[in-house]
């Protein structure tokens, strides 16, 4: 069985469509788990007549909601669907088949179609997705989308869960830990519709995303799991992001934050 986990917070305007997309999956046995992260907009009542495993918790953020869903999941495989995204009807079946045909693979993802404010958005070359060794690409930007993945549940035993202290880059942090250890599978077809541009997106509300990415790269450098090539690539990307972030701090006159960043950087082990 596949466990599909939908974290949601005050998304009554779209969460039912996400649930419908899970329940409409063909050719796979899928349980739908909705983790309501403290909604106050009537989400509970909206989903009361739907065939879902509904879990309510006090607001803790998407990482905690996904981790709660993982703890409750009964499936051999786990997939995530953000509550503003949609799946094609054969998404789960295609990815389950891929994982069964490639037993050494722990994670498979796919291509997406992007919709922003109701209009199709072309993706740039830098957003191109792929399989195999994706560590260096994952350093630059989050090139694996939570809504596009299916994983074997054992993956979390091997690399850990989503970091609940790292919003809004908890997925970026996890994919670094995954791609540093394992190649990833990839289905080039579009199996996900990713909808963006609305004001309640976490990435729209939290400034300075590079700060959280800098912290994530620092943590994986300090973890000692990287080989020499990976560590060199991580340091290059770290300093690139630090340069951009420092420039922003200087422009805004954030001298104390600049000093704290430099102190933190000095603690990153060299190799």
What are the pLDDT digits (tens) for 59-70?
999 999 999 999
The region of weakest confidence among 100-114, 171-185, 249-263 is 249-263
pLDDT: which is higher, 210 or 89: 89
Rounded Cα distance between 28 and 47, Å, is 22
β 77-80/150-152 pair status: antiparallel
- Is 9 or 142 the better-scoring residue by pLDDT? 9
pLDDT digits (tens, 9 = 90+) for 215-225: 999 999 999 99
CA distances from 5 to 43, 74, 201, 221 (A): 16, 11, 18, 30
CB 50 within 8 A of CB 4: no
170-179 helix and 62-72 helix, angle to the nearest 10 degrees: 60
Residue 38: how many other CB atoms lie within 10 Å = 15
Mean pLDDT, rounded, for 147-176: 94
Per-residue pLDDT at 197: 67
156 to 76, 94, 132, 180: CA distances (angstroms): 12, 22, 19, 14
Instruction: State the pTM of this model.
Output: 0.91
Each residue of 179-208: pLDDT tens digit?
Answer: 999 999 999 999 999 997 666 666 545 557
Cis before residue 122, ω within 30 degrees of 0? no
What was the pLDDT predicted at 167? 76
pLDDT higher for 132 or 252? 132
Domains of the chain: 2-200 (3.90.550.10), 209-266 (no CATH)
């Amino acid at each position: 069985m596949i466990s599909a986990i939908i974290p949601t917070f005050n998304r009554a305007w779209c969460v039912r469509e996400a649930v419908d997309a899970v329940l409409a999956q063909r050719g796979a046995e899928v349980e739908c788990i909705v983790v309501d992260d403290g909604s106050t907009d009537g989400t509970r009542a909206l989903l009361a007549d739907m065939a879902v495993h509904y879990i309510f918790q006090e607001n803790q953020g998407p990482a905690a909601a996904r981790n709660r869903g993982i703890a409750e999941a009964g499936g051999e495989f786990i997939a995530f669907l953000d509550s503003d995204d949609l799946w094609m009807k054969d998404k789960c079946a295609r990815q389950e088949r891929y994982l069964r045909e490639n037993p050494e693979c722990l994670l498979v993802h796919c291509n997406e179609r992007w919709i922003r404010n109701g209009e199709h958005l072309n993706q740039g070359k830098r957003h191109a997705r792929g399989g195999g060794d994706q560590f260096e690409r994952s350093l630059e930007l989050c090139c694996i989308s939570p809504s596009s993945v299916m994983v074997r549940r054992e993956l979390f035993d091997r690399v850990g869960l989503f970091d609940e202290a790292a919003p809004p880059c908890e997925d970026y942090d996890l994919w670094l830990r995954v791609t540093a250890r394992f190649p990833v599978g990839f289905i080039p077809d579009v199996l996900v519709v990713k909808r963006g541009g609305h004001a309640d997106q976490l990435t729209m509300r939290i400034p300075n995303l590079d700060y959280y990415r800098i912290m994530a790269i620092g943590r994986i450098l300090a973890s000692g799991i990287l080989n020499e090539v990976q560590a060199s690539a991580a340091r290059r990307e770290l300093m690139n992001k630090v340069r951009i972030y420092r420039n922003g701090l200087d422009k805004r006159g954030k001298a104390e934050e600049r000093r704290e960043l430099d102190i933190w950087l000095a603690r990153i082990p060299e190799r």
